[in-house]
C-alpha cells in the first residue's frame, strides 16, 4: 500500500496516540523472538510469561482450500523498562508482537 506524503504524518500521529505498536520481533535479554517462531521457541528464549490467555479457536484456510481450526493464545511479558509485550499465537506459531507502555 502506498500512502500519500500528506497522510504519513497523520498515520504516525495516530499510532503514537494509541500508545501501542506492533513489531515483527522482540528481544528477550540477549535472545530474539520473531513472528513465525513456535511456542516452545518463545518459552526457551523468553521464559514463562507473566500471563497466558486462551482466546478460542480460529478457522484458517490452507493453500489447497483445506479448513482447519487452530488455537489462539495471547501471552504477556513484562513490564520491561515500563513496557508490556503482548505476543499472540495461532496454531502454536507466533503471529503478532505488540507493545504498550504500562501505567
Specify whether the CB–CB gap between 97 and 86 falls below 8 A.
yes
Q: What is the pLDDT along the chain (103 residues), one digit of tens a residue?
A: 444 444 444 444 444 444 456 778 999 889 999 999 999 999 999 999 999 999 999 998 988 999 999 999 999 999 988 999 999 999 999 999 999 987 6
- Distances, alpha carbon 50 to alpha carbons 17, 30, 74, 78, in Å: 26, 19, 11, 7
Residue 72 placed within a domain: yes
**Number of structural domains found in the chain:** 1
Residue 79 placed within a domain: yes
Q: Answer yes or no: is 14 within a domain.
A: no
In a domain, 6, yes or no: no
User: What is the reported pLDDT for 20?
Assistant: 56
Position 71 in a domain = yes
* Domain range enclosing 42: 19-101
Give the whole-angstrom CA distance, residue 87 versus residue 74. Answer: 6
Asked whether residue 47 is domain-assigned, the answer is: yes
pLDDT at 103: 66
**Structural domain contains residue 29:** yes
Identify whether 54 is part of a domain. yes
Amino acid at each position: 500500500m502506498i500512502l500519500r506524503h500528506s497522510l504519513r504524518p497523520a498515520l504516525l500521529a495516530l499510532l503514537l496516540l494509541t500508545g501501542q505498536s506492533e513489531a515483527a520481533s522482540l528481544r528477550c535479554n540477549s535472545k530474539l523472538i520473531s513472528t513465525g517462531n513456535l511456542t516452545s521457541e518463545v518459552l526457551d528464549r523468553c521464559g514463562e510469561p507473566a500471563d497466558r490467555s486462551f482466546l478460542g479457536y480460529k478457522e484458517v484456510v490452507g493453500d489447497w482450500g483445506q479448513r482447519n481450526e487452530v488455537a489462539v493464545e495471547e501471552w504477556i511479558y513484562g513490564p520491561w523498562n515500563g513496557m508490556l509485550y503482548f505476543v499472540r499465537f495461532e496454531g502454536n506459531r507466533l503471529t503478532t508482537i505488540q507493545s504498550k507502555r504500562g501505567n
